[in-house]
A and B are shown apart, each in its own frame.
Chain A
Amino acid sequence: MTLFTKFFGATAALALTAGAAAADPAIIFDLGGKFDKSFNEAAFTGATKWAEETGGTFAEFEISSDAQREQAIRRFAEEGYNPIVMAGFSWGTPLATVAEEYPDLKFSIIDMVVDAPNVQSVVFNEHEGSYLVGMLAAMASEDGTVGFIGGMDIPLIRKFACGYAQGALAVNPDATVLANMTGTTPAAWNDPVKGSELTLAQISQGADVIYAAAGGTGVGVLQTAADQGVYSIGVDSNQNYMHPGSVLTSMLKRVDTAVYDAFTAGTELEAGFNVMGLDNGGVGYALDEFNAELITADMQAAVDAASAAIAAGEISVHDYMSDETCPVLEF
């Protein structure tokens, strides 16, 4: 009986996929690949969560060359996948071209803005989330020196660093913020050894809380911080569990939520500008059983108050990418 159901179920599912392929969503990953321990992986997690919860299927593709972008979007569009989601700023130009060719399909792009009637552009207020973890860092620091380790040196990562520095200085105007980037190539997203070296260097300069916004490189930062007995801050997803007692908190950037939401909306996806900020849970800081002892009630109260104030527009956190300068940090 069970075997029979399974068999039938499988056939039915197969038939369904074949028939329903046209309405399936699709996701295209950037050059880093879907297991990049960063936003591609977060996007994959969101897609998987949707598939598990709804029992639906989705198509996916990892590009291996910049020239494949248009080709990849067009290929899914031709096969009728809807919506088609992609993460990364590099998709902006090719998506603008292809979206025009397929006005009946919906597209969603994360971390980039494409102005078209059938494209949803999802951007995150990373500077606001970073501001909050910057406050926590300054409050947890004993000597007033906090560190930031970025991945590849691009404007987006400077945006993280700038928000972080503003938060730290808001708590302690005398705080010293050290900022280093791991590298200038995509390899900087996945170089835990270099991350570890930079961590040691910052510790030797007095840093006792270090925020890693560096994809896979951050694994090395968190590990070394734990080994050296200083605090670290994770990024993108909740990384508190990795070294309980050492990871102070994590700056959450819910790329997975963005993908999940886009898949859930399906063909009804709403085009336009979608800002994921503190107010709608797109960014934030992580509090769970692994760091409950590290975040005192006072700290939590201060950060929550700041979060509310930012959401209400009472505190304005400078966005590096608005003018490509940071008032409190030199790069």
Chain B
Amino acid sequence: MNKMPNWADTILVPLLSLLLAAVISGVVIALIGHNPIYALKLMVSGALGTSTNFSYTLYYATNFIFTGLAVAVAYHARMFNIGGEGQAYIGGLGAALACLYIPWPHWTLALIGGGLAAAIFGAAWAAIPAYLQAKRGSHIVITTIMFNYMSYPVVNYLLNGPIKAEGMEPATPSFAAEIALPNLSAILGTFGIAFSDRGPANFALVIALLACVGVWILIWRTKLGYETRAFGESESAAKYAGINPTKIIMIAMLISGALAGMMAINNVMGEAERLVLNAVEGAGFIGIAVALMGRNHPLGILIAALLFGILYQGGAELSAELRIPREMVTVIQALVILFTGALDNMVRMPIEKLFLSLRRKEAK
């Protein structure tokens, strides 16, 4: 028996959590001497107000969709993949190598080639922790965290040496101009919709949306997804059914790593058009919160990623406009993550009780 209707679970609870987070953030903003209502307005208009700003919001959201999907796919097999950060970084390396050393004649081919390279590199980075979990029982949380740390020196070494561009900066050379992915303004322009060309949102957004659909089909419409979910729900039952645990762990983690790696289509191929140090900037970790908030469902992840995109972009505008320190914005972002993720039950329980008592009244 479900304790409350579906709509309350998927919409009401997150909405109330957000509201609580907003109220407490408002108190924090008031404490440092600003008007919370004005700050909220700034944040919303900063994220959605102009098409340039919205482009930034979408750019961040695209990153979070990839990393959120990565966490979700692994989570359906009850693998807690904390390694999205490293997988996305190594995926960026794959994309950069493919874009630098193969003379793609057209951006579409570069997208396929670079995207594949990113996915393969990301998957490879997830493969070793997956193998250790499947065969040796080494806990995936520990190993993926370690692999995050191992990705930094690998990329750092390459960016400081073998694939470094001329000059002071530890970064690769810029990719050829012909293979730059079209930005959102060009894509929407073909449909006659005017959109700012100054933001970073690009064709990767389309890939991210396709990835959402792909993951949904994979998890809920294929044998593999069925086996993955079954394994995630009950390993003993999966064994009974003849589902091979090693195979499921490996495949789920490879797909997860590939999705994380594909974030490179956005940040490396679409935006920077080169690989720079620390290119992932924590998006791998945000992906965990996004998946948690999105209940590991692609649609939920899409919405959560947008929300986090708004928080990121709105937060930057808030900090620039009010001249409040960057750390203050981080506090606000953290409050939202805390309320929507970790403190989910705090909001959920009273609402469940409310629904139960409502039903009891109806029953009487």
Q: Do any beta carbons of A and B sit within 8 angstroms of each other in the complex?
A: yes
A interface residues with partner B (beta carbon < 8 Å) = 31, 33, 59-68, 70-72, 74-75, 89-90, 92-93, 111-113, 152-156, 183-186, 321, 324
> Once the chains bind, are B320 and A61 in contact (CB under 8 Å)?
yes
> Once the chains bind, are B168 and A60 in contact (CB under 8 Å)?
no
Distance of B323 from chain A, by nearest CB (Å): 7
> Once the chains bind, are A154 and B160 in contact (CB under 8 Å)?
yes
Asked, given contacts A33-B326, A72-B320, A185-B156, whether A65 binds B312 with beta carbons under 8 Å apart, the answer is: yes
Which of chain B's residues have a CB closer than 8 A to the CB of A67? 56, 59-60, 200, 267, 271-272
Residue of A nearest to B274 (CB): A93
Report how far A154 CA is from B156 CA in the complex, Å.
Answer: 8
Q: For chain B, residues 246 to 277, give those with C-beta under 8 angstroms from any C-beta of chain A.
A: 267, 271-272, 274, 276-277
B192 within 8 A of A: no
> Once the chains bind, are B279 and A66 in contact (CB under 8 Å)?
yes
B281 within 8 A of A: yes
Report how far A115 CA is from B278 CA in the complex, Å.
Answer: 26
Distance of B325 from chain A, by nearest CB (Å): 7
Leading 7 A-B pairs by shortest Cβ distance:
A184-B156, A184-B153, A89-B169, A62-B326, A89-B168, A185-B152, A154-B170
Which of chain B's residues have a CB closer than 8 A to the CB of A31? 278
Distance of A88 from chain B, by nearest CB (Å): 9
Residue of A nearest to B159 (CB): A154
Which of chain B's residues have a CB closer than 8 A to the CB of A93? 174, 274
Contact mask B304-330 → A, CB, 8 Å, 1/0? 000000001001100110010111011
Which of chain A's residues have a CB closer than 8 A to the CB of B226? none
Which of chain A's residues have a CB closer than 8 A to the CB of B319? 61-62, 64
> Once the chains bind, are B281 and A65 in contact (CB under 8 Å)?
yes
> Once the chains bind, are B276 and A155 in contact (CB under 8 Å)?
no
Which of chain B's residues have a CB closer than 8 A to the CB of A65? 60, 281, 312, 316
Distance of A141 from chain B, by nearest CB (Å): 29
Report how far A118 CA is from B174 CA in the complex, Å.
Answer: 23
Which of chain B's residues have a CB closer than 8 A to the CB of A321? 168
B157 within 8 A of A: yes
Given contacts A112-B168, A155-B168, 9 further A-B contacts (CB under 8 A): A61-B319, A64-B315, A64-B326, A64-B329, A67-B200, A74-B198, A89-B167, A113-B167, A156-B168
> Once the chains bind, are A62 and B325 in contact (CB under 8 Å)?
yes
Which of chain B's residues have a CB closer than 8 A to the CB of A112? 167-169
Distance of B155 from chain A, by nearest CB (Å): 8
Which of chain A's residues have a CB closer than 8 A to the CB of B277? 154, 186
Which of chain A's residues have a CB closer than 8 A to the CB of B164? 155, 324
Residue of B nearest to A71 (CB): B56
> Once the chains bind, are A75 and B320 in contact (CB under 8 Å)?
yes
Which of chain A's residues have a CB closer than 8 A to the CB of B326? 33, 62, 64
Asked, given contacts A90-B169, A90-B276, A112-B168, whether A66 binds B316 with beta carbons under 8 Å apart, the answer is: no
> Once the chains bind, are A66 and B160 in contact (CB under 8 Å)?
no
Main secondary structure of the interface of A (DSSP, over half): mixed
Report how far A74 CA is from B326 CA in the complex, Å.
Answer: 19
Residue of A nearest to B149 (CB): A185
B interface residues with partner A (beta carbon < 8 Å) = 56, 59-60, 152-153, 156-157, 160-161, 164, 167-171, 174, 198, 200, 267, 271-272, 274, 276-279, 281, 312, 315-316, 319-320, 323, 325-327, 329-330
Asked, given contacts A61-B319, A67-B56, whether A153 binds B156 with beta carbons under 8 Å apart, the answer is: yes
Distance of B334 from chain A, by nearest CB (Å): 13
Distance of B253 from chain A, by nearest CB (Å): 24
Report how far A111 CA is from B168 CA in the complex, Å.
Answer: 8
> Once the chains bind, are A66 and B168 in contact (CB under 8 Å)?
no
21 CB contacts below 8 A, A to B, read A64-B330, A65-B312, A66-B267, A66-B272, A66-B281, A67-B59, A67-B271, A67-B272, A74-B198, A75-B320, A90-B171, A92-B169, A93-B274, A111-B168, A112-B169, A113-B168, A155-B160, A184-B152, A186-B277, A186-B278, A321-B168
Report how far A113 CA is from B169 CA in the complex, Å.
Answer: 10
> Once the chains bind, are B316 and A68 in contact (CB under 8 Å)?
yes
Distance of B153 from chain A, by nearest CB (Å): 4
Which of chain B's residues have a CB closer than 8 A to the CB of A92? 167-169
Which of chain B's residues have a CB closer than 8 A to the CB of A184? 152-153, 156-157
Report how far A33 CA is from B328 CA in the complex, Å.
Answer: 13
Which of chain B's residues have a CB closer than 8 A to the CB of A154? 160, 170, 277
> Once the chains bind, are A185 and B278 in contact (CB under 8 Å)?
yes
Report how far A113 CA is from B174 CA in the complex, Å.
Answer: 16
Which of chain A's residues have a CB closer than 8 A to the CB of B174? 93
Residue of A nearest to B198 (CB): A74
> Once the chains bind, are A71 and B167 in contact (CB under 8 Å)?
no
Which of chain B's residues have a CB closer than 8 A to the CB of A74? 198
Report how far A90 CA is from B281 CA in the complex, Å.
Answer: 14
Which of chain A's residues have a CB closer than 8 A to the CB of B169? 89-90, 92, 112
Distance of A249 from chain B, by nearest CB (Å): 26
> Once the chains bind, are B56 and A155 in contact (CB under 8 Å)?
no
Report how far A90 CA is from B169 CA in the complex, Å.
Answer: 6
Which of chain A's residues have a CB closer than 8 A to the CB of B171? 90
Report how far A67 CA is from B281 CA in the complex, Å.
Answer: 10
Report how far A259 CA is from B198 CA in the complex, Å.
Answer: 28
Residue of A nearest to B281 (CB): A65
Report how far A75 CA is from B321 CA in the complex, Å.
Answer: 10
Distance of B145 from chain A, by nearest CB (Å): 14
Report how far A92 CA is from B167 CA in the complex, Å.
Answer: 10
> Once the chains bind, are A64 and B316 in contact (CB under 8 Å)?
yes
Report how far A75 CA is from B52 CA in the complex, Å.
Answer: 11
Which of chain B's residues have a CB closer than 8 A to the CB of A59? 323
Which of chain B's residues have a CB closer than 8 A to the CB of A113? 167-168
Report how far A31 CA is from B319 CA in the complex, Å.
Answer: 14
Report how far A186 CA is from B170 CA in the complex, Å.
Answer: 12
Which of A67, A112, A321 is the most central at the interface, judged by chain B CB atoms within 10 Å of its CB?
A: A67
Which of chain A's residues have a CB closer than 8 A to the CB of B272? 66-67
Residue of A nearest to B326 (CB): A62
> Once the chains bind, are B323 and A60 in contact (CB under 8 Å)?
yes
Residue of A nearest to B321 (CB): A75
Report how far A184 CA is from B159 CA in the complex, Å.
Answer: 11
Report how far A224 CA is from B198 CA in the complex, Å.
Answer: 49
